[in-house]
């Protein structure tokens, strides 16, 4: 019970802060979840899992270890990502693990805080969508001292708010499931309102990946309502296969896209096609061990696209499988795929309620789409957002199912 109280207090303290940090662009979620994970860490309960680790845990640690080791041959000299991957990402996982140890009474006490965080974040984004980022604009003008034109400022505002929308969508979907499962009329009306706010947040701020992520998460949640465990297993195993086949599959896709189709899509999508073709060429240079952790920050070139000079690798690949291959090669991608395969098998033995399976499918679906076509794979803020989203899912009510 002492452990449950500590986890509950870590949750109560972190939820209001999570709302504020999500609205500010999400970057502050990483230190928050790191501290919350340490504060709630059930080390005594964790020890049996470490003493006799499952294949999924062994392979996950091996994959993390390989990418950390790959920094030794990376052309990038700053070790910040190495430290984050080695000492932050594993700690993020402690928070949902602690939530999983909570009894129903303690989870019920934590659920209102999760719902508040999600609704407050979505409500803030709704207001920003209506006012075209007025609060963000006011902050940048009054506090940061921005002196350029308002037209030049809008891309920065949209980038901040679209990044904020990603965790808000993940949390909001889980909150909608919580509210609907409460069964009361008022709670279900709030669930419907939450769903509407999800659509607004995903469609605003000029970020197509959020809308695609919401659609994918919604489909995954609907399938999980019918086949709870099997849906999440299929998502995880499908991701493992996608990682293994990443370069070959991408080469095949790029080879069949006609030029007139390339010319008709938005610039950001044609730019991605150029990035992926360049990444495939780099993967072919070092297919076994890869170029090393954070090499994407150094490896780059430029080309002409629609009369503009663009970078062929702006910080990251905007595609998780190619990112894994480019920096870790076949060894790294193979270890990640094997870890996901073992995770899917382990999930087959987990007992969760149907709402928890639905929520997990939604959260994982939204996150996967965004790392497949949007964010850099190693960005710690969305690792933290995923940990929180999984924590939201494990708070769901209901009797555990086989």
Structure tokens, 386? 């995923």
Query: What average pLDDT does this structure show over 275-302?
Result: 92
As a whole-number percent, the residues of the chain with pLDDT over 90 amount to 68
pLDDT range class, residue 115, cuts 50, 70, 90:
very high
Structure tokens, 42? 């059930």
How many other C-beta atoms can be found within 10 angstroms of the C-beta atom of residue 132?
15
* DSSP class of 158: H
C-beta of residue 40 within 8 angstroms of C-beta of residue 95: yes
As a whole-number percent, the residues of the chain with pLDDT over 70 amount to 99
In this model, does residue 181 exceed pLDDT 50? yes
pLDDT tens digit sequence for 120-155: 999 999 999 999 888 888 888 888 777 777 777 888
Q: What is the mean pLDDT of the chain?
A: 91
pLDDT tens digit sequence for 8-47: 999 999 999 999 999 888 889 999 999 999 988 877 788 8
User: Please, what is the Cα angle at 93 between 92 and 97, to 5 degrees?
Assistant: 130
Domain boundaries, the chain: 2-243+321-394
For 162-183, the DSSP string reads: HHHHHHHHHHHHHHHHHHHHH-
Q: What is the pLDDT of residue 73?
A: 96
End-to-end CA distance of the chain: 25
In this model, does residue 300 exceed pLDDT 90? no
C-beta of residue 122 within 8 angstroms of C-beta of residue 198: yes
In this model, does residue 400 exceed pLDDT 70? no
pLDDT tens digit sequence for 67-98: 999 999 999 999 999 999 999 999 999 999 99
Q: What is the pLDDT of residue 373?
A: 83
Q: What is the pLDDT of residue 1?
A: 56
Q: What is the pLDDT of residue 149?
A: 75
Q: From CA 383, how far away is CA 388, in angstroms rounded?
A: 9
| pLDDT greater at residue 198 or residue 133 | 198
The crossing angle, in degrees rounded to 10, of helices 55-69 and 320-347 is 160
Q: From CA 316, how far away is CA 343, in angstroms rounded?
A: 26
Three-state secondary structure of 36-75: HHHHHCCHHHHHHHHHCCCHHHHHHHHHHHHHHHHHHHCC
How many other C-beta atoms can be found within 10 angstroms of the C-beta atom of residue 345?
15
Nearest to 174 by CA among 17, 368, 363, 399: 363
Three-state secondary-structure class, residue 25: coil
| pLDDT greater at residue 240 or residue 305 | 240
Residues 6+ apart with CB under 8 A from 351: 400, 401, 402
User: Please, what is the Cα angle at 82 between 79 and 84, to 5 degrees?
Assistant: 110
Which of these ranges, 24-28, 125-129, 167-171, 361-365, has the smallest mean pLDDT?
24-28
Structure pTM? 0.93
pLDDT tens digit sequence for 206-246: 888 899 999 999 999 999 999 999 999 999 999 999 999 99
Query: What average pLDDT does this structure show over 276-290?
Result: 94
Burial environment of residue 130 by CB neighbours within 10 A (0 to 12, 13 to 18, 19 or more): exposed
In this model, does residue 6 exceed pLDDT 60? yes
pLDDT tens digit sequence for 245-270: 999 999 998 888 888 887 787 777 88
In this model, does residue 288 exceed pLDDT 60? yes
Query: What average pLDDT does this structure show over 381-393?
Result: 96
Q: What is the pLDDT of residue 402?
A: 41
Question: Which residues, listed in sequence order, are joined to residue 310 by a DSSP beta bridge?
Answer: 303
Structure tokens, 357? 């399976």
Nearest to 393 by CA among 157, 114, 64: 114
Query: What average pLDDT does this structure show over 272-283?
Result: 91
C-beta of residue 75 within 8 angstroms of C-beta of residue 298: yes
Residue 132 falls in which region: left (phi positive, over 0), alpha (psi -120 to 50) or beta: left
Nearest to 206 by CA among 268, 151, 162: 162
């Amino acid at each position: 019970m002492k452990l449950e109280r500590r986890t509950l207090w870590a949750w109560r303290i972190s939820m209001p802060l999570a709302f504020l940090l999500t609205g500010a662009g999400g970057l502050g979620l990483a230190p928050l979840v790191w501290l919350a994970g340490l504060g709630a860490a059930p080390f005594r309960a964790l020890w049996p899992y470490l003493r006799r680790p499952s294949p999924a845990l062994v392979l996950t640690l091996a994959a993390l270890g390989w990418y950390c080791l790959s920094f030794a041959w990376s052309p990038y000299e700053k070790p910040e990502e190495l430290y984050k991957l080695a000492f932050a990402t594993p700690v993020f996982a402690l928070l949902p693990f602690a939530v999983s140890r909570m009894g129903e009474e303690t989870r019920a006490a934590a659920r209102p805080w999760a719902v508040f965080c999600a609704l407050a974040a979505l409500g803030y984004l709704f207001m920003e969508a209506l006012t075209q980022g007025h609060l963000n604009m006011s902050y940048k003008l009054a506090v940061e001292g921005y002196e350029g034109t308002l037209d030049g400022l809008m891309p920065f505002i949209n980038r901040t708010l679209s990044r904020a929308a990603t965790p808000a969508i993940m949390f909001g979907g889980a909150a909608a499931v919580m509210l609907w499962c409460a069964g009361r009329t008022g709670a279900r009306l709030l669930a419907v309102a939450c769903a509407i706010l999800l659509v607004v947040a995903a469609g605003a701020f000029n970020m197509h990946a959020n809308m695609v992520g919401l659609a994918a998460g919604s489909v995954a949640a609907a399938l999980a309502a019918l086949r709870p465990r099997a849906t999440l297993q299929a998502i995880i195993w499908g991701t493992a296969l996608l990682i293994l086949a990443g370069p070959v599959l991408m080469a095949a896709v790029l080879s069949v896209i006609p030029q007139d189709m390339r010319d008709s899509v938005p610039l950001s999508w044609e730019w991605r096609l150029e990035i992926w073709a360049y990444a495939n060429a780099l993967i072919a240079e070092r297919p076994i061990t890869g170029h090393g952790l954070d090499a994407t920050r150094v490896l780059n070139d430029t080309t002409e696209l629609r009369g503009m000079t663009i970078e062929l690798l702006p910080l990251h690949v905007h595609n998780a499988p190619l990112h894994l291959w480019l920096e870790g090669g076949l060894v790294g991608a193979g270890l990640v795929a094997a870890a996901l395969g073992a995770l899917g098998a382990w999930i087959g033995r987990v007992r969760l309620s149907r709402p928890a399976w639905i929520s997990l499918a939604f959260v994982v679906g939204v996150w996967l789409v965004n790392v497949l076509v949007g964010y850099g794979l190693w960005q710690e803020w969305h690792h933290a957002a995923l940990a929180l989203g999984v924590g939201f899912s494990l708070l769901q009510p209901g009797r555990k199912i086989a």
